Amino acid sequence: MQSIGVGVIGTGFMGKAHALAFAAAASVFDLDRRPHLAVLADADEARARRCAGQWGFSRGIGDWRALIADREVEVVSIATPNHLHEEMALAALAAGKTVYCEKPMATCIEGARRMAERARSCPTLLGYNYLRGPAIGLAKDMIAAGELGEIVAFKGRFAEDYMADPAAPHSWRCVRALAGSGALGDLGSHLLGFAIHLVGDVQAVAGEVSTVIATRPTTAGSAAVENDDQVHAVLRFANGARGVIDVSRVAWGYKNHLAVEITGTKGTIAFDQERLNELRYCKAGQAARTGGFSTILAGPQHPPYGAFSPAAGHQLGYGDLKTAEVGHLLRGLAGHGVIYPDFAIGLVIERIAAAIERASAERRWVDLDEV
Amino acid sequence: MQSIGVGVIGTGFMGKAHALAFAAAASVFDLDRRPHLAVLADADEARARRCAGQWGFSRGIGDWRALIADREVEVVSIATPNHLHEEMALAALAAGKTVYCEKPMATCIEGARRMAERARSCPTLLGYNYLRGPAIGLAKDMIAAGELGEIVAFKGRFAEDYMADPAAPHSWRCVRALAGSGALGDLGSHLLGFAIHLVGDVQAVAGEVSTVIATRPTTAGSAAVENDDQVHAVLRFANGARGVIDVSRVAWGYKNHLAVEITGTKGTIAFDQERLNELRYCKAGQAARTGGFSTILAGPQHPPYGAFSPAAGHQLGYGDLKTAEVGHLLRGLAGHGVIYPDFAIGLVIERIAAAIERASAERRWVDLDEV
Amino acid sequence: MQSIGVGVIGTGFMGKAHALAFAAAASVFDLDRRPHLAVLADADEARARRCAGQWGFSRGIGDWRALIADREVEVVSIATPNHLHEEMALAALAAGKTVYCEKPMATCIEGARRMAERARSCPTLLGYNYLRGPAIGLAKDMIAAGELGEIVAFKGRFAEDYMADPAAPHSWRCVRALAGSGALGDLGSHLLGFAIHLVGDVQAVAGEVSTVIATRPTTAGSAAVENDDQVHAVLRFANGARGVIDVSRVAWGYKNHLAVEITGTKGTIAFDQERLNELRYCKAGQAARTGGFSTILAGPQHPPYGAFSPAAGHQLGYGDLKTAEVGHLLRGLAGHGVIYPDFAIGLVIERIAAAIERASAERRWVDLDEV
Amino acid sequence: MQSIGVGVIGTGFMGKAHALAFAAAASVFDLDRRPHLAVLADADEARARRCAGQWGFSRGIGDWRALIADREVEVVSIATPNHLHEEMALAALAAGKTVYCEKPMATCIEGARRMAERARSCPTLLGYNYLRGPAIGLAKDMIAAGELGEIVAFKGRFAEDYMADPAAPHSWRCVRALAGSGALGDLGSHLLGFAIHLVGDVQAVAGEVSTVIATRPTTAGSAAVENDDQVHAVLRFANGARGVIDVSRVAWGYKNHLAVEITGTKGTIAFDQERLNELRYCKAGQAARTGGFSTILAGPQHPPYGAFSPAAGHQLGYGDLKTAEVGHLLRGLAGHGVIYPDFAIGLVIERIAAAIERASAERRWVDLDEV
């Protein structure tokens, strides 16, 4: 099998997740070219070297520009903090590389626009890996096949509690220039990705973003939180469906509660990322005596589950979704299927998020055309 | 024990529910006066007589005005279709009777205003019986005691599927003059009742009401649906909390899914009327190793459960909530506690609903002061 | 409507439950004769009078034999502690009265035998009210209709934690002469009632009863616990199905966890009394893509639910099951259906329990024929 | 980092799972030596070569004895059908290799005894990978720390439906010589592994194994099923705890329902492999008002979760458990911790299973000392 050279920038949780996914992809999926872990970059060069050794990269370096310039590197993975995405992506695109970038795409809508503009020439993929889950694949498939009828309502939420404690320290996540928006960008972007993937284009939004904890402790005292802790909004979709969403990083009890429910004229489906191997489904027209919501447990009949296991109910995990994302990218590069979501789709997500922020600031409905 | 004379107007599901509740209340609760089922009225006098016999009323009659005029009747229960509430309530109030009226209060905001205005002179109670559940009582108690800290978010939904089938026939529920609004009034009123009871005053709203199935079959062909099938809205509370709600009578799979979740700075609670004996709770600050959401199962420590059973986990049902509602009314009449929600509170609920309708029609935020 | 005179012995939780159920039954069900609450008896005569007043009885008395002798009393409800059931039931049967007795029937198998023997002449009913739930009715109906195919396995448990705390005081429940067996009789009898109702005759058993907390505190120090805290057993049914059961009064976290699961060649159903309005069901042969367990929510299509409410999902409670039990009795007395479970069936349950105790004592399988 | 040579025998689901786990282990865990995928063997040599290429092995071969003999191979993974385990394991042990063998260990107790006997000289590990889950690790830790008090009861079940359809074809799984026992060995061994890991030694058993579908279709007609479809048994543990288990491969609706519940004098925990990232826990002595079962969602505080992700709620999957198993083995080989469960522990599991079969055949309690 031929190989394809991969460079990963960043050695945090996401860098490691990318490394593991590239290492596993060829064993799990039927690929034309096996990923070769060529270069790992981190501003801390010693760390880059150490992680490269542990994760199986040929070498670790301190300069991400050298990684991009490396002739061996065909795919550039960007797994760095949000505010670095744009510069790195633009550089990689300028070098003609395929770019696989973590979400959220950028820290401002203008940056996202620039990235989408330059991405026309090269393949790109954004790391919305929750889209890879077997239950979400099934949901998409059911909707596309008309099994839910006409979609009439979307309910979405993404709740976590990582900043629920008012004593949780101030960090880059609270700083506009480093993180962009708060819960909206970090969590809401996933939710909006689900919304457009499953229901379709959003036409207009209204609602509010709000900061629950105005200041957070720093070593020196305290500092202002510059972005949102929570989002509450209504959506109108182009196909006429309506929706509500709420997003929070201060919701006690939740760790990864990315939950959506979609109602159509022929049924309802519901999903929660905290139980990613399940899809709840109520089909219209069941006998009242024995009808109800059923819980579908993911199995090999729900791609990409079968690539991992022939036995239902054995559970995919977060890492598997990342491996599936890499598999999707590499198969797309080999001409098998369209790579999704690329930077163009990422921009759509960012525009919805920007519309929500404007709707909140101006206390009115905002059409997507306005942003 | 002295008795108190009760007259019930209406012999449908609600009339029967009132009759059963009045019959049981004195056995369950410690009351000063035992309800006496004096008169049952229905436009169909034969039916009134038959039901009176079955349900234990002294007599059944065809003329509701005679019921109100009856000197034996001190409490008038109005369990008739929505569009009759106002006329009957005003007549009963004019006669100086206590009025116990089913929700929604009226079919238009003007009617609700008139009812609230005239109710200043007599005790009134609206049939928002879900407020009587042991889990809701616990939720209210926890919030009042500060156990959730400052409330920051409210999420509410009320979904049913009784009109999800496009082939479900046209009925009075689809006619503005008879039903008032659609899902908003029938279901949303309960949800808004929860919102103000648990979180407090609503200050402003935005969102949309929408009709999913534009026409429904009649024996003669089809007729237009004149009110909403679903509601999607955002709320801003006076205390700064934000919320989203969605309401639907066309959501496949749900039968009584009145669900609320409230997040505060010290915890989260969640409730679903389809499992009315449970309250989910995540307390802030638990050890990460063993912390999480817990499911509290209603027991005698959660009023009014203990009046029904000394043993936890035995489950209260819908009828028990109605009995508790009657118990609340009768104890209130005897000077034990404030009767809630009376017509003044009902008007608040109707105003929020009206604000949502206006916000939808005018595509803007509407302050509660405007309605 | 004609009336039928009722006497209730006992003013505890169960006495009150019987009183409420008799008061409601004629309003809920279509009965030929309305129950008349004639006499309430309690050894504490003052209490009997007070409760009689509150619960709507014509009079309260101290002597239960007078209640049985009262010509107005046609149905004798026995809601007293276990060790009194036999004497009272035999007296009532001797007087030719219908006997409605709480479970467990007796404190020893000999007593149960005597009761069943004398009951041949009069109608009897035992208070296994959980059999009245809409989900259990559906389960029975599905099995009878062959919808589960041939039954191959039964799993049952009844767990509560009312004596889980080693510091919980010694009481009559720990005394053999007063309570009979421990968890086995108090909880296990319900479970065995489910087993024979849903699966059929039990042929043989093996297993153990065990006492977890050997002594419990008394005001004077401590006293030995004379009966079982938990039961673990395997069952062989006459139809070839196998089963396991476990019963516990010391299982932290459970309040009324009477749970059964039945597997047949065409499907599986599962039930938990803590969510008595639900039945989980997995039908054989569903499409793998969308199949799974569904949750059926009780509604009017599941008798006796419809007698209480025309709207699904509104939840029946414990009291409703008791009302349904009374309705079943009164309809049976009027010739509509067979009264079940009567003392003959109760004896079957007691024999299985006795077989489990013998199997435990002798560490061997015991055939039902042996007891 | 130094490397350690690995040979895997078998290219089915398990062979692939081993390959992926060895490839990922060094990236996930802090290891002294990085696994080197040296040799993959399969009787079908062409398949061995093809899979070796896809999974990253240096070479694929047809002769498993050559794999064992290969000097580069230090660890021999046996991922072949059950009846081959013994011969391969004995050969690998004779060659002084570390043996990592899938479960069930052997197809008969004598084989298991021989394997355990020879394993005294070399490190061994059995593939009971469900023991690696973060929730099971937490359960073990809680029990060891005394957080559940004295253990009094164990309830275990492992239900799947892979042979629930009577039309499911006859296969090697139905043949005693190839599979050993049926559901008992395939599924029950996992459950017994949980039992001894979490509760301790089993002292005696009673119960039955049964075959639900006596014959199954073959291409030529039909053939007898030679082993059990289900198991129902009671256990007595050496520490005095009692238990019930049921195991089934014919339970409609279940895919991987390995569920255990453990009750102690200070609390209850419950686990289900179909939701492997959750542990339900009810702590003794909570306030009745807000107490109940809580759901603990796995996070980095629950090893080995943290090695995979710093973020709670992101979910581990089946493959991660296998990676954790390999990590455990390699760390054990490097002197960090005891390798568990080795062949000696595997023999304990096989002896309990054999005792259950004998108890069923002889319809009596069987002490573990007897087998």
Contact D94, D33 (CB under 8 A): no
CATH architecture for residues B132-315+342-362: 2-Layer Sandwich (3.30)
CA A349 to the chain's CA centroid: 10
Rounded Cα–Cα distance for residues C366 and C352 (Å): 9
Question: SS3 for A30?
Answer: coil
pLDDT confidence bin for B335, thresholds 50/70/90? very high
pLDDT confidence bin for D147, thresholds 50/70/90? very high
**pLDDT at residue C4 in the model:** 98
pLDDT confidence bin for B1, thresholds 50/70/90? confident
Contact A81, A172 (CB under 8 A): yes
Whether pLDDT at C280 is above 80: yes
Exposure of D219 by Cβ count < 10 A (0-12 exposed, 13-18 middle, 19+ buried)?
exposed
* CB spacing of D318 vs A314 below 8 angstroms: yes
Mean pLDDT within A283-310:
97
Count of Cβ atoms closer than 10 Å to residue C24 Cβ: 29
pLDDT, tens only, A267-289: 999 999 999 999 999 999 999 99
Q: Which of C24, C309, C313 sits opposite B23 (nearest CB)?
A: C24
Rounded Cα–Cα distance for residues A39 and A20 (Å): 14
pLDDT > 90 fraction of chain A, expressed in percent and rounded: 99
Chain A residue with minimum CA distance to D315? A317
pLDDT > 90 fraction of chain D, expressed in percent and rounded: 99
Q: Which of D23, D275, D299 sits opposite A23 (nearest CB)?
A: D23
Closest by alpha carbon to B166, among B225, B220, B208, B219? B225
Rounded Cα–Cα distance for residues D267 and B290 (Å): 12
State how far residue A293 is from chain B, nearest Cα, in angstroms: 6
* CB spacing of B234 vs A234 below 8 angstroms: yes
Q: In angstroms, what CA-CA distances link D136 with A346, D194, D277?
A: 39, 9, 9
Rounded Cα–Cα distance for residues C179 and B122 (Å): 53
Contact C40, C28 (CB under 8 A): no
pLDDT, tens only, B80-122: 999 999 999 999 999 999 999 999 999 999 999 999 999 999 9
Whether pLDDT at A240 is above 80: yes
Chain B residues within an 8 Å CB radius of A183: none
pLDDT, tens only, D7-36: 999 999 999 999 999 999 999 999 999 999
Q: Which of C292, C296, C312 sits opposite A290 (nearest CB)?
A: C296
- The radius of gyration of chain A from alpha carbons, rounded to an integer in Å, stands at 21
Chain C residues within an 8 Å CB radius of B19: 27
Show Cβ contacts of residue C241 under 8 Å, excluding neighbours closer than 6 positions: C151, C152, C153, C154, C199, C200
pLDDT confidence bin for D337, thresholds 50/70/90? very high
Residues on chain C bordering chain B, Cβ-to-Cβ distance under 8 angstroms: 1, 13, 16-17, 19-20, 23-24, 26-28, 30, 34, 53-56, 160, 162, 254-257, 273-277, 297, 299, 308-320
Tell me the whole-structure pTM to 2 decimals: 0.97
Show Cβ contacts of residue D88 under 8 Å, excluding neighbours closer than 6 positions: D9, D64, D68, D76, D78, D80, D101
Q: Which of D13, D19, D313 sits opposite A311 (nearest CB)?
A: D13
Q: Which of B257, B310, B317 sits opposite C317 (nearest CB)?
A: B317
The DSSP-derived string for C325-360 is HHHHHHHHHTTSS---S-HHHHHHHHHHHHHHHHHH
pLDDT, tens only, C19-78: 999 999 999 999 999 999 999 999 999 999 999 999 999 999 999 999 999 999 999 999
pLDDT, tens only, C290-335: 999 999 999 999 999 999 999 999 999 999 999 999 999 999 999 9
Rounded Cα–Cα distance for residues D241 and D94 (Å): 40
Q: Which of A24, A254, A299 sits opposite D24 (nearest CB)?
A: A24
Rounded Cα–Cα distance for residues D116 and D139 (Å): 27
Mean pLDDT within D278-304:
97
Rounded Cα–Cα distance for residues A144 and A355 (Å): 27
pLDDT, tens only, D227-273: 999 999 999 999 999 999 999 999 999 999 999 999 999 999 999 99
pLDDT, tens only, A170-215: 999 999 999 999 999 999 999 999 999 999 999 999 999 999 999 9
**pLDDT at residue D99 in the model:** 98
State how far residue C7 is from chain D, nearest Cα, in angstroms: 36
pLDDT, tens only, C216-258: 999 999 999 999 999 999 999 999 999 999 999 999 999 999 9
Q: In angstroms, what CA-CA distances link C95 with A73, B274, C65?
A: 97, 46, 10
Whether pLDDT at B314 is above 90: yes
pLDDT > 70 fraction of chain C, expressed in percent and rounded: 100
Whether pLDDT at A223 is above 90: yes
Q: Give the bridge partners for B304, in sequence order.
A: none
pLDDT, tens only, C121-133: 999 999 999 999 9
State how far residue C179 is from chain A, nearest Cα, in angstroms: 40
State how far residue D312 is from chain A, nearest Cα, in angstroms: 6
Q: Where are the domains of chain D?
A: 2-129, 132-315+342-362
**pLDDT at residue A1 in the model:** 73
Rounded Cα–Cα distance for residues C187 and C227 (Å): 13
**pLDDT at residue D1 in the model:** 72
pLDDT confidence bin for D189, thresholds 50/70/90? very high
Residue found by looking up tokens 């006998």 in the block: A287
Residues on chain B bordering chain C, Cβ-to-Cβ distance under 8 angstroms: 1, 13, 16-17, 19-20, 23-24, 26-28, 30, 34, 53-56, 160, 162, 254-257, 273-277, 297, 299, 308-320
Closest by alpha carbon to C302, among C322, C276, C337? C276
Contact B106, B180 (CB under 8 A): yes
pLDDT confidence bin for B126, thresholds 50/70/90? very high
pLDDT, tens only, A133-169: 999 999 999 999 999 999 999 999 999 999 999 999 9
Q: Which CATH superfamily is domain D2-129 in?
A: NAD(P)-binding Rossmann-like Domain (3.40.50.720)
pLDDT confidence bin for C1, thresholds 50/70/90? confident
State how far residue D272 is from chain A, nearest Cα, in angstroms: 11
* CB spacing of A297 vs D255 below 8 angstroms: yes
